[in-house]
Amino acid sequence: MFSQIVALSALVAYASAGIIAGHGYAAAPIAVAAHAAPIAVAAHAAPAVDYYAHPKYEFNYGVADAHTGDQKSQHEVRDGDVVKGSYSLHESDGTIRTVHYTADDHNGFNAVVSRTGHAVHPQTVAVAPAKAIVAAPAIAYGHAGLGAHFGYAGHGGYGHY
């Protein structure tokens, strides 16, 4: 009886079985999203504002660092399209370079550079030439005696024995 039940259940399983599709290499289906047309809204035009601010400023700054010896300053004034200013700095030779500049639409950019003070250059010190080596002792190559092999084997690895 048991064998008849097994045979009957195998027959039912065989009859109800279908083909299972494999994984395949096809692309995923494309999801389509449809939207309704937007509702037309009457746009209110904002009035165009032609805003022009007259540029006008003045600034200055200065640095006087006694630790590094850095000393410089700048001053600038702008009124409309006319810019006037100056800056100065201490150069490495001890002179002070000052630049006065102006810029406008008519003349463009103009700069006048001036230097004050005398340039001080450090004195050069004559260095005695190094003593030349006339002859060096000859170097002998070979084994150090007693059949010793100096290579990687003597340093804990890479031996050939």
* 67 in any annotated domain: yes
Regarding pTM above 0.75, the answer is no
User: Is residue 71, in this structure, part of any structural domain at all?
Assistant: yes
* CA gap 151, 95 in Å, rounded: 63
Interval 110-149: pLDDT, tens: 999 999 998 888 788 888 888 877 776 777 666 555 555 5
What is the tally of structural domains in the chain? 1
Give residue 152's pLDDT.
54
How far apart, in whole angstroms, are the C-alpha atoms of residue 82 and residue 117?
31
Please say if the pLDDT value at position 72 is more than 70.
Answer: yes
> Does residue 105 register a pLDDT over 80?
yes
Q: Are 111 and 134 in contact (CB under 8 A)?
A: no
- Give me the percent of the chain exceeding a pLDDT of 70: 82
**Residue numbers of the domain that contains 104:** 56-116
- Better pLDDT: 23 or 123: 123
The pLDDT tens digits for 26-45 are: 777 777 777 777 777 777 77
Cβ contact 93:120 at 8 Å: yes
Q: Is 75 part of a structural domain of the chain?
A: yes
Among candidates 77, 82, 85, 79, which has minimal Cα distance to 55?
A: 79
Q: Within a domain: residue 104?
A: yes
The verdict on residue 107 lying in a domain is yes
**pLDDT (0 to 100) of residue 44:** 77
pLDDT at site 145: 54
Predicted confidence at residue 139, as pLDDT, reads: 74
Q: What is the CA radius of gyration of the chain?
A: 46
Residue 49 lies in a domain: no
Please work out, in degrees rounded to the nearest 5, the angle formed at the alpha carbon of residue 79 by the alpha carbons of 76 and 80.
130
- ∠ CA 81-83-86, rounded to 5°: 175
Residue at 108 is within a domain: yes
The answer to the question of residue 111 being in a domain is yes
